[in-house]
Structure 1
């Protein structure tokens, strides 16, 4: 059963600033539009909203990021009005707090409700487990990796038939080394004041500035490398602090106190990540807690760069140890220093072969078009099951 000709999708996500859930929202909206449907996104907004609109999607700006119970009720009422006015066919929630508003609105209007479980949410109490379970109360739950699917089944004991794994996909047109022109990498080098230096191995740690992303571990590992007499490396930390100025300042202090200002650089947000990965020799994905999927371990592989990743969560699926990169104990700075030293000593030629292995594997398994096709097929399944 194909999507009906008048199909209208409403996705609900806190914001469209940066991140994997936000990128997937944009990708699926575009796929729906290309299939002849309409795509709405209810969100507070963000820098990625312009891309949604350029693709032909529509923004319904509302404070769905708010955690106040009254705001949640108000958002539910706004969503009901939006669903009715735009003749929405299906509602898809991508975060827990907005999911409450979206679930109530979908039930009030008798519309199908789908969720995507984007994170491995902690639950140390019954109330928190109940809160997390809102992501399992729809017609279908999409897990963004096999690891996430196993977590959902173990944590929430839902019907396995109701949970489908659809790994996130990478835009192979955007993340294509052949399409990144030299002027793009040169522009980044100028912006970051980087001189080409073949003596140093350049590591790139990408992702928002958050304690779970392992920045402190990598800075400590840099200190361990210096203590072992290694000075032939540079670590580029790329990512928005998203208002976490205190955390950014703490990282800057850690760098300064360790005497690492010439070896670790905090560079902020980057709009051209394909070029950023080509500047680097090796990518780092140092999350300290299990990652539900982790684009920062997959995107560099698509760009032909080996990855050193934490041996937990879905990164054990996306990185093949000693083949496409290395898996390292999360939070263990000495282990990270040892892995980084292995990558440095491997040399450019052997790193290139490892990068090619990662590129071939990632391009087969994590394509954006395959993810979008599977998501639209999931929508069709839900619509078909409805009376």
Structure 2
């Protein structure tokens, strides 16, 4: 393997919820299965136990701070940890801690990897400089081709330093065959969905750019045309209580309390997508990857998504593919009339037609967006920088499971 037991240190502000956080845990798992040691510096959160369960090591660290003075102090602390724990490579997944990690990696002469998880807004030179740390890795991992092109355009990062590694879906967890009717029924009961009602599911944290307001507006457009449909808005407010209140008022003012529900965080997302007739991704700003769209397709659930950012790479729809090969629909952001049209089309599908779309969707994600493929490709990045052989060891390990 080159190094006897490579030690990979990842840093991320929190381990609470989200795609970047889940990726950190999944890569920690891959490192351990490849014979390495995986450390994560973070302020912690509800996912910390999952890290321990896969063999990763959690070190409590003030990684969420954005104070310049504290970032410098954090750099010194990361360097001390790296030397004490014999760290071989540092991998940063968020901007503020990435600055500290970059300084520490350079001082300790360690390879530095970044993953560009989101499309950060750039308003002014200061914000552009702040964001640029995510393009300063020895290798920059972009979670979609869309993200990679943004990195190249903004920072002139050479293609040779960029690796497009799509966000992975856990196909063992997101498998329609293993989600029991009891799990689905439990969620339907919790959401007060009647037996005859079909679910349109929007799964995203409550923030304006995720487009919950547009979903509510679309629900109002089809209310009198489809009488067996409930819209479930699943996601944490994460402190945005004012926004949640705004959505509640929008629902009430439109008289939609009977068909639109804010249900908060959902732990069992495979069952949520299995319960849904159709999933909807309504983002009004570009998604760097769009985990919900991929996870829904893994559960054979057709997806309606806005046509900006990375979802056009993950959701197959005309004209990219023939209508018979679609896995969902793509619409312009904020186009409520377009939402109405495709929602009516999706909800008019008979069971056979919906099942065919679902089968295409499951096959598409299985071939292109699995967690194991993301893990293999990330380990290959580490191997390139360290001269190790973690990727082939991991590949053998997962074939034996």
TM, length-normalised to structure 1:
0.96
* Alignment of 1:217 onto 2:214: yes
2:255 to 256, 259, 267: 259
User: Is 1:147–1:313's contact at 8 Å kept on the other side of the alignment?
Assistant: yes
Q: Match for residue 270 of structure 2?
A: 274
**1:67 is paired with a residue of what secondary structure?**
coil
- Kindly state the Cα deviation for residue 225 of structure 1 after the two structures are TM-superposed: 1.6
* Alignment of 1:243 onto 2:239: yes
Q: Match for residue 328 of structure 1?
A: 331
User: Is 2:279–2:303's contact at 8 Å kept on the other side of the alignment?
Assistant: yes
**1:102 is paired with a residue of what secondary structure?**
helix
* Alignment of 1:290 onto 2:286: yes
**2:192 is paired with a residue of what secondary structure?**
coil
Counterpart-to-counterpart distance in 1, 2:289 and 2:105: 27
Counterpart-to-counterpart distance in 2, 1:246 and 1:4: 51
Q: Match for residue 15 of structure 1?
A: 14
Q: Match for residue 32 of structure 1?
A: 31
User: Is 1:202–1:236's contact at 8 Å kept on the other side of the alignment?
Assistant: yes
2:359 to 356, 365, 370: 356
- Kindly state the Cα deviation for residue 122 of structure 1 after the two structures are TM-superposed: 1.8
* Deviations 1:320-371, CA, capped at 9 Å, x for gaps: 1140000010112221122111111123321111111111111100011111
**1:50 is paired with a residue of what secondary structure?**
helix
Q: Match for residue 45 of structure 2?
A: 46
* Deviations 1:6-50, CA, capped at 9 Å, x for gaps: 211100111111111111111000000011111111111110111
- Kindly state the Cα deviation for residue 74 of structure 1 after the two structures are TM-superposed: 2.2
User: Is 1:3–1:380's contact at 8 Å kept on the other side of the alignment?
Assistant: no
Counterpart-to-counterpart distance in 1, 2:102 and 2:143: 20
2:377 to 374, 378, 381: 374
Q: Match for residue 131 of structure 1?
A: 130
- Kindly state the Cα deviation for residue 3 of structure 1 after the two structures are TM-superposed: 6.0
TM, length-normalised to structure 2:
0.92
Counterpart-to-counterpart distance in 1, 2:155 and 2:227: 48
What is the total number of aligned residue pairs between the two structures?
Answer: 381
Q: CA RMSD in A?
A: 1.3
Q: Judging changes above 3 Å, is the alpha-carbon distance between structure 1 residues 116 and 3 closer, same or farther for their aligned structure 2 residues?
A: farther
Structure 1, unpaired ranges of 5+: none
**1:346 is paired with a residue of what secondary structure?**
coil
Counterpart-to-counterpart distance in 1, 2:335 and 2:255: 20
* Deviations 1:215-260, CA, capped at 9 Å, x for gaps: 001001111223x543331111111111111111111111111100
